[in-house]
Amino acid sequence: MADTSLMDKLVSLCKRRGFVFQSSEIYGGLGSVWDYGPLGVELKKNVKDRWWNAMVHAREDIEGLDAAILMHPKVWEASGHVAGFTDPLVDCRHCKNRFRADDPRIKGTPGQPDAQCPACGTRGSLTEPRMFNLMFKTFMGPVEDSAAVVYLRPETAQGIYVNYLNVLQSSRQRIPFGIAQIGKAFRNEITPGNFIFRTREFEQMEMQFFVQPGTDSEWFEKWREWRMDWHCSLGLTPAKLQWHQHAGSELAHYARAAFDVQYQFPFGWQEIEGIHNRGDFDLSRHQEYSGKKLEYFDQARNQRYLPYIVETSAGADRVTLTLLVDAYREEEVEGELRVVLGLHPGVAPIKAGVFPLVKKDGMPELATTLYHDLRKHFSCFYDDSGAIGRRYRRMDEAGTPYGVTIDGETQANQSVTIRHRDTMLQERIGLSQVALYLRDKLKVAA
Ligand code: ATP
């Protein structure tokens, strides 16, 4: 299977099965903005829930936060986004397409006669690069003037920094401690693409860990290990995950050290999460711009200091895409193509399908009762239309790990068939055991 066709197949499966739709499709779509359908919203919610559980519920030293998307415009001056959150942009005077100046498809130097437009192939038509700020601007209140400008946040982290003292004081945490947040972020990307990999509206799962200066490198290493473990716990193929270290000019202005977790997508190794040692850059800038003291008083050491910050920053949409790419496989079964999403049961949008073999002999009644019982515990899907093999295939494409079939024997001896997505093996268990059996399986996989 050619790699580029994998993305095309995935986009089409996502639409067909209700994972992801293009935004405003009936109007021709909106560039690089996507909507999540019934299965996609469950899959992404499972990703976010697992992150929240690992970060907030399972740890005593991390608190949750949900800050607003709109923030005081000075936040973005302090953070460096107004001055520096820019990409170099070039236009093609001939075909009017726009590119990032560092687009690897551009041959030659933009602005010079030798430069060739990657879209129309014209030579000398690319403009000199100019800087383009990626923040979306809007106006607050009825007057649309420069005094009323506010931004849609390009990252969730700043909401954490400006609330760090509020959280510290109200939760009675002590350093080292962290604040975790999941929320929307917006970037007016010049060259978005690769489906939900790079979009203009996306969700981030960010955690900022506040530590005593001098202990930052040690915490940085711990967080690197924990975050890689978390990605592996989603069932991703370990050989397709790697670290990429930022060095030299790649290192952002705020970072003392930075590593990306990368996944091997069909379009190359790409970042899915960044782990950054930000030092005291953020708090010292907010202290300077707000005029408010943001120091921490360490009672045990009788010391005042600005904490250093270790950040873990992942994209919920990117992790969702990674799961879909990693799970997609095609097999030939008895001369027919079987498309399977081998999703980890813990993230699968539907945990079990329930099927009466035929629509008679009391089978639909038994199956409906079982379905309603199972729904109390986890997400299920009832399907009584078409041949049983087709129903199994539909669930394979949706990534549903288990199928439960009520057949002629169920009435007679109170047993059902459990069908396993990955192996296609079937086993018989007692009807009254199904809920317990599936709950056990899902618990082990959790
Ligand atoms: P990139 O180099 O891919 O633009 P970045 O280094 O700017 O990413 P960060 O600012 O570190 O990314 O953001 C942290 C995480 O947020 C990324 O690892 C990614 O998962 C997610 N993310 C960033 N930009 C986008 C986007 N435009 N669409 C979807 N997810 C994004």
User: For residue range 307-332, what is the model confidence (pLDDT) as tens digits?
Assistant: 999 999 999 999 999 999 999 999 99
Both tokens of residue 146? 């420069």
Asked if pLDDT for residue 49 goes beyond 60, the answer is: yes
What atom in ligand 1 is closest to the CA of residue 273?
A: 18
CA atoms within 13 A on the CB side of 221: 3
Q: Does any ligand 1 atom lie closer than 6 A to the CB of residue 313?
A: yes
C-alpha of residue 212 to centroid of ligand 1, in Å: 27
**The CA-based dihedral angle spanning residues 432, 438, 440, 445, taken in that order and rounded to the nearest 10 degrees:** 180
What atom in ligand 1 is closest to the CA of residue 270?
A: 3
The CA-based angle 22-27-29, given to 5 degrees, is: 30
Which CATH number does the domain 350-445 belong to among 3.40.50.300, 3.40.50.720, 2.40.40.20, 3.40.50.800? 3.40.50.800
Asked if pLDDT for residue 120 goes beyond 70, the answer is: yes
Asked if pLDDT for residue 443 goes beyond 60, the answer is: yes
What separation in angstroms does the CA of 297 have from each of 197, 285, 304?
Answer: 41, 19, 5
Q: Does any ligand 1 atom lie closer than 6 A to the CB of residue 318?
A: yes
CB count in 10 Å sphere of residue 269: 13
What atom in ligand 1 is closest to the CA of residue 260?
A: 18
What atom in ligand 1 is closest to the CA of residue 206?
A: 14
**pLDDT one-digit tens code per residue, 218-274:** 999 999 999 999 999 999 999 999 999 998 888 888 888 999 999 999 999 999 999
Pick from 199, 233, 190, 273: nearest CA to 58: 233
The CA-based angle 49-51-54, given to 5 degrees, is: 105
Cβ 328 vs Cβ 317: under 8 Å? no
The CATH number assigned to the domain with range 3-73+146-324 reads 3.30.930.10
Distance between the two ends of the chain, CA-based, in angstroms? Answer: 31
Cβ 326 vs Cβ 237: under 8 Å? yes
Q: Residues 145-158: what's their mean pLDDT? A: 94
Span(s) in the chain for CATH 3.30.930.10? 3-73+146-324
Both tokens of residue 89? 């942009």
Beta partners for residue 382, in sequence order: 354
What atom in ligand 1 is closest to the CA of residue 187?
A: 27
Q: Does any ligand 1 atom lie closer than 6 A to the CB of residue 273?
A: yes
- With 0-12 / 13-18 / 19 or more C-beta atoms within 10 angstroms meaning exposed / middle / buried, residue 206 is buried
Residue with tokens 């991390």: 62
Q: Does any ligand 1 atom lie closer than 6 A to the CB of residue 373?
A: no
Residue 18 confidence (pLDDT): 97
CB count in 10 Å sphere of residue 251: 14
What separation in angstroms does the CA of 257 have from each of 80, 181, 302?
Answer: 18, 22, 29
CB count in 10 Å sphere of residue 433: 14
Q: Does any ligand 1 atom lie closer than 6 A to the CB of residue 206?
A: no
Q: Does any ligand 1 atom lie closer than 6 A to the CB of residue 204?
A: yes
Residue 322 confidence (pLDDT): 98
Q: Which residue has the CA at smallest separation from atom 10 of ligand 1?
A: 155
**Its pTM surpasses 0.85:** yes
**pLDDT one-digit tens code per residue, 411-424:** 999 999 999 999 99
Strand intervals (E) in 113-267: 130-133, 136-139, 149-152, 177-186, 201-211, 241-245, 257-265
Three-state SS string over 314-373 comes to: EEHHHHHHHHHHHHEEEEEECCEEEEEECCCCCCCCCCEEEEECCCCCCHHHHHHHHHHH
Residue 248 confidence (pLDDT): 83
Residue 412 confidence (pLDDT): 92
Residue with tokens 């059996």: 437
Span(s) in the chain for CATH 3.40.50.800? 350-445
Residue 147 confidence (pLDDT): 84
Q: Which residue has the CA at smallest separation from atom 8 of ligand 1?
A: 271
What atom in ligand 1 is closest to the CA of residue 192?
A: 27
Ligand 1: residue of 79, 202, 271, 312 to mutate (most ligand atoms within 8 A of CB) is 271
C-alpha of residue 169 to centroid of ligand 1, in Å: 31
